[in-house]
Chain A
Amino acid sequence: MNWLGLVFIFLFAVLLLGLGAASRRAKRELREIPAFTRLAGGIGAAVESGRRLHLSLGHGGMLGQPGASTLMGLTILQRIARTASISDVPPIATSGESVQAILSQDVFQAVYQAIGAETQFDPHSGQLTGLSPFSYAAGALPVVYDQQVSVNVLTGSFGSEAALIADAAERTGSMTLAGSENLTAQAVFYACTEEPLIGEELYAAGAYLQAGAMHSASLMTQDIFRWLLIVAILAGAAARLVGVW
């Protein structure tokens, strides 16, 4: 079974690299996800109105599967920070884990260095609001209520405590875009937010935000392997039903 996993990973990598090279030449059309469409407009409105952008990375950390959600959150943070760098009010990132907080500060610093505005970097733009999920959510509520946030982006590993942040955003009338790999969080987001990201739509954020050709290649690779898994599951179920396996 370990070899199977390794082969799976190897094939995934090869296909990812090949499609990445092809994506640089031909742009792939993606299906519309209303959440990202509204996000672009929301960012522009926030910049124009002089209001703040709030991006929350959750409390999943960098180890394990929640780490992938954290990486996607950091990618989205980078795109948003670059877009909103011209705003009078810089965006703010809250985290429920120390490594995420440090990485969010590093992303801000890199963005401002890239645009040549190192003086605009504020180390407090990336904050650790709590070490536990609910304490992190409780610490993020003042940011939503007091910082004149126009758009909330909740992308990362969350639990049911994300409903508190989403509810606070709805009270302030700000737009909320939320996505997590956690099923509970997805259910909560579906009920509480305007634009939930269900399933692996969170991992498609890079492609929709034009983060690079490799993100589009990742989507294509995921689609290909998803179909392979579907075929494998159906085949296995059929084989099991027949009694072959």
Chain B
Amino acid sequence: MCGKANPEELDVCQYCQARLKPIWESAPLESASDNDLPEWLRSLRSEPEAEKGKEEALPDWLSGLRDISDVEAPLEADQPPGTADEFPQDQPDVSSQWFGSTFAPDEEPAEAGLGGQLEGDLSEESISWLSRIQETDARSGEPAPGSDEAGEEASQLSPPSFENEIPEWLKPDALAEQPPEQTDSAPQAQTPEWGASEEQALPEWLKDEMLQEPAEQHASPSQETPSPEWFDEDISPVQQLADETEAKQQAAQRELPDWMTDEEGHLPEWLQSGIFVSPLEQPPPPVSSSGGESLPTPAEPEESELPAADAKLPFKMEEGEPSPLEWLASLETESEGSKSAKDLQIPPEIPEDELSWLSELETAYSDLLPEVDIASEGAGGLSEGFESEGLSPPPVEGLPSWLSETEPEGEEAPALADEEESLQPAELPSWLQAMRPLGVPDEPSGDAGAAETEQVEGAGPLAGLRGVLPAEPDVSQGTKPSAFPIRLQVTAAQEEQANLLRRLIEAEAQPRPLPQAPVLPAQFVLRLVMAVLLILSVLIGVVSGLPEFARPAPGSEILAVRQMIEHLAPQSPVLFAVDYEPSYSGEMDAVSGAVLGHLLRRNVYPVMISTVPTGPIQAERLLNMAGKAAGQSLAPTEQYANLGYLAGGAAALAAFAETPRAYFALDIQGGQLWNRPQLQNVGSVGEFAMVVVAVENPDRARFWVEQLSPRLKGTPLVMIVSAQAEPLIRPYYDAAPAQVQGLVSGLPGATAYEAATVQNGAASLYWTPFNIGLLVAVLLMFLGGVMNLIAGRIVRQKQRQETKSK
């Protein structure tokens, strides 16, 4: 992030504390809770509880190396670590690399992952192979490449929570207890901050080492873990320093935990070799290249440092055998520009058999770890990859996929497989399997990650690495999607239904043609024909007077009226109520006119009254007609009185019947009414000579009868009614005592009355046309009914037939 150069062995930038190496490369030491770990990992975590708190995530550079030990060992506490043969003897002294590197004290602990879990489980194993590496480095005499720089920079780096995982004897305090001459021989290195803080907790023999090369603090290995064989071998280069370090060891021996000492209480030889004595302090022994594995050749100047480091290795280095730390020192970037940023040098030649443990690791975790294409021919690719990622690889054969470019050796994989009890190579733990993306098939355990291991990323930031998830062509180079047919796959039934729905919707929008209305509707024609026939028939009767129809014989009700009128005295006041509507004038004028004419011939004094608004003027019209018929010209007030309109209906009738003077003081012309000689003796309706009511409405006729008859006191009541009211009024006439003394109903009654009184009034004139019209009407009703009945049946039959046909 800051862009500044950092040593290759660093996992974290020493300036901005940014991560330089991927997490999988630098497996964090922090591990998940024991419950989440598989059993095989959990079993490795057999460190005491007291020290668990001190365990923290290893630095990335150490975690990377820890993974190597995973290949070597079955990762179980009781499993011995890799043998010394497996470990390259000519490896450069890594301790200078490690302990020279500084660690950021504030570096965040690496993410807990498989690597972290492995780191945690391998805490007890870390010391063993770490010690081997340093021993090898010391024997080879090659200084750790870039050790100076590593030593200088070592102080700048700090492990992520490393101090918690540092055993007591590895802490700077322990190192500080070493002989001062040893500590002073090593180039003064800045005590890393972590080292300074932990200095007091470290054993003395370790503190000196920490002062010279800030040692990498490792989690204390399990006491139960037996030391590898190569730890027990006599290492000649180390013995050169044995005397020197023996003192330190003995001094610190008392502080060493029991597991670090043998039965006699002495440090193992590999520890006595002063593994933690910085090879930089001692002249590195000459490094004899074993010509083992083809590894990147470390830089020449750094080779002098290796023998010193090799002397400290816990295993015996053969002469001429390159320091096992050479591979670390040889790790260097190809490009000169980035060389300063990477101090890690890959040892050029490391025997393959010594790196078998790495291959075992590779086999075991090749499916987990990204492929790192570590070219055996050259370290360029590897260096490039490590330069970009800041990895700390041992680019030798047998290394795990993330460390080496080669496939795990099959001959060693079965050996590991046999030794492993719970974890098969490439067997994913359950929790990791759960994280596997859906659809990704499980790879066979034996060849887990083989395809990925072989595949070298060719593009992108991970170019050159092996075991990387291929970005191309799966992601960046997308495949052409398969062509799907655009046309909907519908069945015949669905298509038919869809067409039906479409037709229905289209029909809904289309306006239905309305049936054209005929110019002359049938109803209008029929009505017109009826009207014409009626009019013609009546006209013929009116005009021709033919045929003559006999006048009906007057009934008793009619004769009674005639007789009562005949007995009226002249100038007798007769209350004549004109209570019919103008529309019924045709009938009622004829009937009322016959009776009123008779009254006028008897010279009575009619007093006109009405309960309808048009009654007064109707009365005037009736008087004029009757007068003309009688040959008289009636003068108001002298020959008749018109009271006018009586409002209030039946209630007003009852009141008027009792006190007529209270309701009408003046007549309709405004003249005095009750001072006339004809009306002077009239105080109630019962004091009239006769009451005649001309009404067409049966209800109103009843009102007159019912309201007046109790108050008439013997005054005859004559009802002149329309033919439609006769059925309701006749019972009043037929009753006993009769409430109506005379009844003239309709045109037949009027005609009969005119015949009885020998008059030729309007009723006689209307009789013939009336009969003709009546006959025509009856015929029309009958024929029309029959025709409609037949037509209706025909229409219903057609509708039934249409319904059946549909």
Are the CB atoms of A61 and B724 closer together than 8 Å? no
Q: Is B703 an interface residue, CB under 8 A from the partner?
A: yes
Cβ 8 A contact of A61, one of B582, B649, B728: B649
Stretch at the interface among A111-119, A129-137, A194-202, A224-232: A129-137
Contacts of A171 in B (CB 8 A): 523
Cβ 8 A contact of A132, one of B581, B724, B728: B581
Are the CB atoms of B581 and A134 closer together than 8 Å? yes
Stretch at the interface among A32-40, A62-70, A207-215: A62-70
Are the CB atoms of A132 and B699 closer together than 8 Å? no
Docked CA distance A132–B579 (Å) = 12
Cβ 8 A contact of A63, one of B523, B649, B697: B649
A161-B583, A183-B728, A184-B724 known; A65-B698 Cβ under 8 A: no
Are the CB atoms of A134 and B583 closer together than 8 Å? yes
Are the CB atoms of B699 and A63 closer together than 8 Å? no
Q: Is A179 an interface residue, CB under 8 A from the partner?
A: no
Using an 8 Å CB-CB cutoff, how does the interface string of B567-595 with A read, 1 for contact, 0 for none? Answer: 00000000000000111000000000000
| A114, chain B: closest CB distance, angstroms | 31
Contacts of B16 in A (CB 8 A): none
Contacts of B652 in A (CB 8 A): 63
Docked CA distance A182–B701 (Å) = 12
Task: Count residues of chain B with CB under 8 A from any CB of chain A.
Answer: 17
Docked CA distance A110–B581 (Å) = 34
Q: Is the interface of B mostly helix, strand, loop or mixed?
A: helix
Give the interface centre of B523, B583, B651, B699 by most chain A CB atoms within 10 Å. Answer: B699
Are the CB atoms of A64 and B613 closer together than 8 Å? no
Are the CB atoms of B613 and A65 closer together than 8 Å? no
Are the CB atoms of A66 and B648 closer together than 8 Å? no
- Tell me which residues from 136 to 176 in chain A have a Cβ below 8 Å from any Cβ of chain B: 159-161, 171
A132-B582, A160-B724 known; A63-B651 Cβ under 8 A: yes
Q: Is the interface of A mostly helix, strand, loop or mixed?
A: loop
| B585, chain A: closest CB distance, angstroms | 11
Contacts of A182 in B (CB 8 A): 697-699
Q: Is B614 an interface residue, CB under 8 A from the partner?
A: yes
Q: Is B650 an interface residue, CB under 8 A from the partner?
A: yes
Nearest chain B residue, comparing its CB with the CB of A134: B583
Are the CB atoms of B523 and A64 closer together than 8 Å? no
Contacts of B649 in A (CB 8 A): 61, 63-64, 66
Contacts of B650 in A (CB 8 A): 63-65
Docked CA distance A160–B580 (Å) = 13
- Contacts between the two chains (Cβ within 8 Å), count: 37
| A170, chain B: closest CB distance, angstroms | 9
Nearest chain B residue, comparing its CB with the CB of A131: B613
Contacts of A161 in B (CB 8 A): 583
Nearest chain A residue, comparing its CB with the CB of B527: A167
Nearest chain A residue, comparing its CB with the CB of B650: A64
Docked CA distance A134–B697 (Å) = 13
Contacts of A184 in B (CB 8 A): 698, 724
Contacts of A159 in B (CB 8 A): 697
Using an 8 Å CB-CB cutoff, how does the interface string of B679-710 with A read, 1 for contact, 0 for none? Answer: 00000000000000000011100010000000
Are the CB atoms of A64 and B703 closer together than 8 Å? yes
Size range of the interface on A? 10 to 19
- Tell me which residues from 179 to 207 in chain A have a Cβ below 8 Å from any Cβ of chain B: 181-184
Docked CA distance A183–B702 (Å) = 12
Are the CB atoms of A132 and B698 closer together than 8 Å? no
- Tell me which residues from 650 to 700 in chain B have a Cβ below 8 Å from any Cβ of chain A: 650-652, 697-699
Docked CA distance A187–B699 (Å) = 14
Docked CA distance A64–B655 (Å) = 13
Docked CA distance A134–B613 (Å) = 14
Nearest chain A residue, comparing its CB with the CB of B702: A65
Contacts of B703 in A (CB 8 A): 64-65
Docked CA distance A132–B724 (Å) = 19
| B527, chain A: closest CB distance, angstroms | 9
Nearest chain A residue, comparing its CB with the CB of B613: A131
| A36, chain B: closest CB distance, angstroms | 25
Are the CB atoms of A133 and B581 closer together than 8 Å? yes
Docked CA distance A183–B699 (Å) = 9
| A60, chain B: closest CB distance, angstroms | 9
| A163, chain B: closest CB distance, angstroms | 12
Docked CA distance A96–B581 (Å) = 13
Nearest chain B residue, comparing its CB with the CB of A183: B698
Cβ 8 A contact of A133, one of B583, B648, B651: B583
Nearest chain B residue, comparing its CB with the CB of A171: B523
Docked CA distance A63–B699 (Å) = 13
Docked CA distance A182–B648 (Å) = 19
Docked CA distance A161–B652 (Å) = 26
Using an 8 Å CB-CB cutoff, how does the interface string of B704-732 with A read, 1 for contact, 0 for none? Answer: 00000000000000000000100010000
Docked CA distance A152–B614 (Å) = 29
Contacts of B697 in A (CB 8 A): 159, 182
| A245, chain B: closest CB distance, angstroms | 13
Are the CB atoms of A132 and B648 closer together than 8 Å? no
Are the CB atoms of B699 and A66 closer together than 8 Å? yes
Docked CA distance A61–B648 (Å) = 10
Docked CA distance A78–B611 (Å) = 30
Contacts of B724 in A (CB 8 A): 160, 184
Using an 8 Å CB-CB cutoff, how does the interface string of A42-71 with B read, 1 for contact, 0 for none? Answer: 000000000000000000010111100000
Nearest chain A residue, comparing its CB with the CB of B523: A171
Docked CA distance A161–B613 (Å) = 18
| B380, chain A: closest CB distance, angstroms | 89
Nearest chain A residue, comparing its CB with the CB of B727: A183
Docked CA distance A134–B580 (Å) = 12
Contacts of B728 in A (CB 8 A): 183
Contacts of B648 in A (CB 8 A): 63
Nearest chain A residue, comparing its CB with the CB of B524: A171
A64-B703, A160-B724 known; A132-B651 Cβ under 8 A: no
Between A and B, 27 residue pairs with Cβ closer than 8 Å are A61-B649, A63-B650, A63-B651, A63-B652, A64-B650, A64-B651, A64-B703, A65-B650, A65-B703, A66-B649, A66-B699, A131-B613, A132-B583, A132-B613, A133-B581, A133-B583, A134-B583, A159-B697, A160-B724, A161-B583, A171-B523, A182-B697, A182-B698, A182-B699, A183-B698, A184-B698, A184-B724
Q: Which 4 A-B pairs give the minimum distances between C-beta atoms? A: A64-B649, A63-B649, A64-B650, A134-B583
Additional A-B contacts beyond A133-B581, A182-B698, A183-B728 (17; CB < 8 A): A61-B649, A63-B648, A63-B649, A64-B649, A64-B650, A64-B651, A65-B699, A65-B703, A66-B699, A132-B614, A133-B583, A134-B583, A171-B523, A181-B699, A182-B699, A184-B698, A184-B724
